[in-house]
């Protein structure tokens, strides 16, 4: 979607030729990640709307509605699977999109605001996923929400009140489900649509600000051709999601049971990193302070970066420090998730992935 022209940098308007790049092939590839994310967003909304016809956010009914979708509703399982895999894909791909932008330093002036909007969108994606996770009302949903709400409660000063308003009470019950449903189905899509629109429009604006000759140099593209190209990319995503929906069923655990905590109780994968962090010490430091510090730092990167060279291409050598730091951050983030997913067993004790857990 980014009509990102080649051979342009932000280095005071001069061309890239002559400046060493890491890889000719990689150079300024975006991999269409932005477009991919929008495609996924569209798929999520459409399948989400369809799922809502058969789902009621009632603790007595929710689990059964999911079972109905799986067993007796025509295409129910397919749409649910598509919805779930699109959601997972979107989290991963939004993260990759953000990484791509960082590695190409496309957060520099005039794109700082867009960088911030992008991070907001990432957070919105996470919130949408988290609220969506609660809706099937199964064990993972219930206990995942228990962990999350207690993490929230450990925030200083506002913690308990925050938990109270998020859950609509002291327990995870009907109120929590209704609120999650509202957020997931209306508030997040609304906010995200708005932010996406803003993000895309700003992107165009920033392109023009950065390179006023853009209009002149732009390739002449005929509308059907443009749509063809974009549709192609959309189809790639659609194909992948459909294949996933056919081959892999979206997971569902046992119905939520407040008296039995699964051993171990693991958060959904995208929060496993946070849960792993949590296991190292007090929630206040490891789940509130550290992640928020990291977040804050990430968001203000455009405003605090001192060097202004090497933008517009992947992994420019002049940005070695930033690239290394960022790579470290990404490695740690993914590493924490992998650790939490494969190396933790009952009691959150360390197990090698091939070690069997005591099943009790």
Partner 1 sequence: MSADKFTRRNFLAGVGWLATLGTFGGLTAASARYLFPNVLYEPPLEFKIALPEEYPEGVTFVAAKRIFVIREQNLIKVVSGVCTHIGCTIRWSDERNRFECPCHGTMFSANGAVTAGPAPKPLPWYEVSLAPDGRLLVNERQIVPFQQALTV
Partner 2 sequence: MSFFQRIFPILALLSFLLLIGLVWKDYDRPYLEYQRKFKALLDQKSTGSSKPVEFGFGYRQRWSKELGRVDRCETCHLGLDDPRFKDAPQPFTTHPVIAEHAYEKFGCTECHGGQGMATTVEDAHGPTENWNKALYHDNFMENSCSLCHGEYLQAQAPVLFRGQTMFFEYGCRGCHKADGKARTVTGPPLDEMSKRVKSDWLYRWLMGPKDYWPQTKMPDAKFTSQEAADVSAFLLQGPGPEGQAISGDAGPGKTTLLESRCTTCHTIEGKGGKTGPELSKVASKAYPERLFKVVKDPHALWSDSKMPIFGFADKDINDIVTFMSQEYMDLDLNENEAARQAQLVASGSKERGKELAVKQGCVGCHSKIEGVKEIGELGPDMATFGVVHISLLDFGDIKVPFKERTVPNWIYNKIKSPRLFKEGLKMPDYYFSAEEATAITTYTLSLKGKEVPASYTLPLGERPSDYAPQGAFGKIVDKYRCLVCHKINGKGGEVANDLSQEGSRVQEAWIKKFMKAPDTIRPMLEERMPPFKILDPENDAIFAYCRTTLVTDKVEDLTGPVDKMALGDPQIIRDGEKLYFEKYGCNACHQINQKGGLVGPDLTETGKRLRPEWVVYYLHDPKAFVKRSVEPVYALTDKEIQALTAFVLSSRSSVTH
- Interface mask toward partner 2 for 77-116; x: CB under 8 A: xx--------------------------------------
Question: What would the two tokens of residue 217 be?
Answer: 């140099």
Q: Could you give the CA distance from residue 147 to residue 149 in angstroms, rounded to a whole number?
A: 6
255 forms bridges with which residues in the sheet? Answer: 138
Q: Give the position of tokens 């005039």.
A: 110
Residues in region 214-253 near partner 1 by CB under 8 A: 224, 228, 231, 235, 238
Query: How many other β-carbons are positioned within 10 Å of the β-carbon of residue 167?
Result: 22
Residues in region 61-80 near partner 1 by CB under 8 A: 68, 72-76, 78-79
Q: Read out DSSP for 57-104?
A: --TTTHHHHHHHHHHTSTTHHHHHHHHHHHHHHHHHHHHHHHHHHHHT
Is 74 a binding residue for partner 2 by CB under 8 A? The answer is: yes
Maximum alpha-carbon separation in the chain: 69
**Minimum distance of partner 1 from residue 78's CB (angstroms):** 8
Q: Could you give the CA distance from residue 46 to residue 53 in angstroms, rounded to a whole number?
A: 12
Is 137 a binding residue for partner 1 by CB under 8 A? The answer is: no
**Minimum distance of partner 1 from residue 143's CB (angstroms):** 29
Q: Could you give the CA distance from residue 209 to residue 108 in angstroms, rounded to a whole number?
A: 12
Which of the ranges 2-10, 50-58, 143-151, 281-289 carries the binding residues for partner 1, by CB under 8 A? Answer: 50-58
Binding site for partner 2 (CB under 8 A): 60, 64, 67-68, 71-72, 74-75, 77-78, 138, 225, 228-229, 231-233, 235-236, 238-239, 242-243, 245-246, 252-255, 257, 259-260, 262-263, 359-360
Binding site for partner 1 (CB under 8 A): 46, 50, 53-54, 68, 72-76, 78-79, 224, 228, 231, 235, 238
């Amino acid at each position: 979607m980014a009509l990102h022209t080649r051979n342009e940098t932000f280095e005071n308007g001069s061309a890239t030729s002559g400046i060493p790049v890491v890889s000719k092939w990689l150079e300024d590839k975006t991999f269409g990640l932005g477009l991919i994310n929008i495609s996924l967003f569209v798929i999520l909304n459409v399948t989400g709307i369809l799922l809502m016809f058969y789902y009621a956010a009632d603790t007595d009914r929710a689990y059964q509605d999911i079972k109905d979708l799986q067993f007796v509703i025509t295409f129910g399982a397919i749409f649910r699977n598509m919805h779930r895999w699109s959601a997972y894909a979107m989290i991963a791909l939004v993260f990759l999109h953000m990484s791509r932008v960082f590695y190409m330093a496309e957060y520099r002036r005039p794109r700082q605001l867009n960088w911030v909007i992008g991070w907001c969108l990432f957070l919105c994606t996470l919130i949408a996923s988290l609220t969506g996770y609660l809706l099937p009302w199964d064990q993972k949903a219930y206990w995942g929400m228990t962990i999350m709400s207690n993490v929230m409660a450990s925030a200083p000063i506002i913690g308990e009140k925050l938990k109270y308003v998020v859950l609509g009470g002291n327990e995870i019950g009907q109120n929590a489900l209704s609120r999650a449903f509202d957020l997931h189905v209306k508030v997040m899509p609304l906010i995200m649509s708005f932010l996406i629109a803003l993000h895309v429009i700003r992107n165009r604006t920033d392109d023009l600000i950065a390179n006023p000759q853009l209009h002149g140099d732009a390739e002449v593209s005929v509308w059907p051709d443009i749509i063809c190209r974009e549709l192609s990319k959309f189809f790639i995503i659609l194909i992948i999601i459909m294949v996933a929906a056919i081959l892999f069923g979206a997971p569902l655990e046992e119905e939520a049971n407040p008296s039995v905590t699964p051993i171990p109780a693991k958060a959904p994968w995208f929060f496993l990193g946070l849960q792993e962090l949590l296991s190292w010490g007090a929630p206040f430091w490891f789940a509130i302070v550290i992640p928020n510090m990291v977040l804050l730092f990430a968001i203000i990167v455009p405003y605090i970066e001192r060097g202004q060279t090497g933008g517009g291409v992947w992994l420019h050598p002049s940005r070695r420090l930033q690239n290394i730091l960022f790579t470290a951050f990404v490695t740690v983030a993914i590493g924490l998730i992998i650790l939490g997913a494969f190396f933790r067993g009952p009691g959150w004790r360390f197990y090698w992935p091939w070690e069997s857990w005591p099943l009790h």
